[in-house]
Amino acid sequence: MPEAVTFDGCEIVRKLSSGPVCDLYLAVQEPLGRTVLIKALGQNILPSSPFASTLEREARLLSELTHPGIVKVHDFVKRGDRMWLVLEHVDGVTLDELLTRAKRVADSAAVAIGLRLAEALGHAHAHSVVHRDLSPKNVFISKRGEIKLLNFALAVDERMPTAPELLDGGTGYLGPVYMSPEQILGEPADPRSDLFSLGVMLYELVSGTRPFEGPNERSTSLRIRQNPPPPLTQGGVKVSGSVERVIARCLEKLPSDRIGSAQELAAELRQALAETWDGAPEQAILSALASAGLAEVNAAPPKQTVRVVRRTSLGGVAWGLLLIGLGAVSSGYVLRRAFGPMEANRRAAAPLSTPGAEAAELRVVAHPWAHVFVDGQQRETTPFARPIRLSPGTHYIRLEHPNAVAERRTVAMAAGEAVLLEVDMKVVSPQSSAPTPNPSASSELASP
């Protein structure tokens, strides 16, 4: 019989899992009587192996992170040819187990889970740590509704010169399903890579499906790099506009187009949760566990959604009608409903090269006003924006207002076509007056 495995100061309860590199045990730490997890280097792996250095790296990273949403490391031990981590034990289930049982969860629970993960990532990113392996298998939910991010085996720290070895049987690696486009291409991951992975998880939580999953890893990788995610409402899923926008911003292909930081993501998710849930995020998470038969809890009821109707002055209506009339009658503009962020056209964006005779024209009307970005470059500011000449093809439009969430649209334009895009900026706080118009702008707007 093989020799029984022992760990100094700990009594093994049972072996939880075994991988090619690391084994995981449930144990009791003595004399404290504290239940812990032991992540130990496999008996056939030498401490001189690069995979052993990965375990030591994980211990060092975790020792620098102190956050309620990140699993704690109690100890790191090296004894001769053996090495192990003593980790905080979380009494509960993984997010993967919840999804296996429930398929999808209520919006409030999905947002609450995303909020707690964003807060944990914000702490890690503030300490220069990028997780790189965010997936439901690496998220634990305690019986009190707490979220714990674990398994930093693949994490990188910009202060450390080398990245860990990618083979680790103890990780929750599921192929490319949750990876960002830049990770697929083998480029260095940064905090925005984690936000893309979190966006994939949020999409899965509210819809029950993964946005880019294909029949094999190759097709999945291609979809992550090239395809927009299917609209969340495609399968009959009902989701609030604010949640859909947050997920869309996380799933942008270019890191520079994604939501700026984990802290910003947490702020938006916190606001979205307040619209639909009274009580702590943990109560919303517990309600999901209870619905899946994984916990018993008296959850707080969801809020009644209140529809806010923004009043518009007669002058504002007349001004809007004037703009539309000018576009539709005098200039021959077509009023078009552009694609929403989750319905982005699959074609690549047309270059912003100088358009020729076959150029298309885009006129933007934003209420009350907005800076207009086309394919990442600022082109105009409404309400007195001049027509923007663009090459035929697909263009990505972003409208920004200091007191509103950025609005994004994708517009496919044919040669010689004129398009009028009208967008209502959802201003959430008192905003300053629109930019002061200049005399020449009015004449330019009125000219055909």
Catalytic residue positions, numbered? 133
C-alpha distances in Å from residue 190, one per residue of 120, 126, 131, 195, 223: 15, 12, 9, 9, 21
Q: Is 371 helix (H, G, I), strand (E, B) or coil?
A: strand
Q: Which of 325, 276, 266 is nearest to 304 (CA)?
A: 276
Q: HSE-up of 24 (CA within 13 Å, CB side)? A: 15
Q: Is 303 helix (H, G, I), strand (E, B) or coil?
A: coil
Structure tokens at 420: 């009028």
Instruction: Read off the amino acid at residue 352.
Output: L
* 355 within 8 A of 413, measured Cβ to Cβ: no
Instruction: Read off the amino acid at residue 418.
Output: A
- φ/ψ (deg, to 5) at 415: -60, 130
- Rounded Cα–Cα distance for residues 364 and 60 (Å): 52
C-alpha distances in Å from residue 1, one per residue of 41, 74, 254: 20, 31, 54
Q: Which of 425, 406, 420, 415 is nearest to 366 (CA)?
A: 425
Q: Which of 77, 73, 55 is nearest to 8 (CA)?
A: 77
Neighbours of 230 (CB within 10 A): 15
Structure tokens at 264: 């910003």
C-alpha distances in Å from residue 447, one per residue of 162, 419, 420, 442: 60, 16, 15, 9
Phi-psi region of 91 (alpha: psi -120 to 50; beta: other; left: phi over 0): beta
ω into residue 383 within 30 of 0, thus cis? yes
State the DSSP code for 408.
Answer: E
Query: Which residue bears the tokens 């009350």?
Result: 368
ω into residue 50 within 30 of 0, thus cis? no
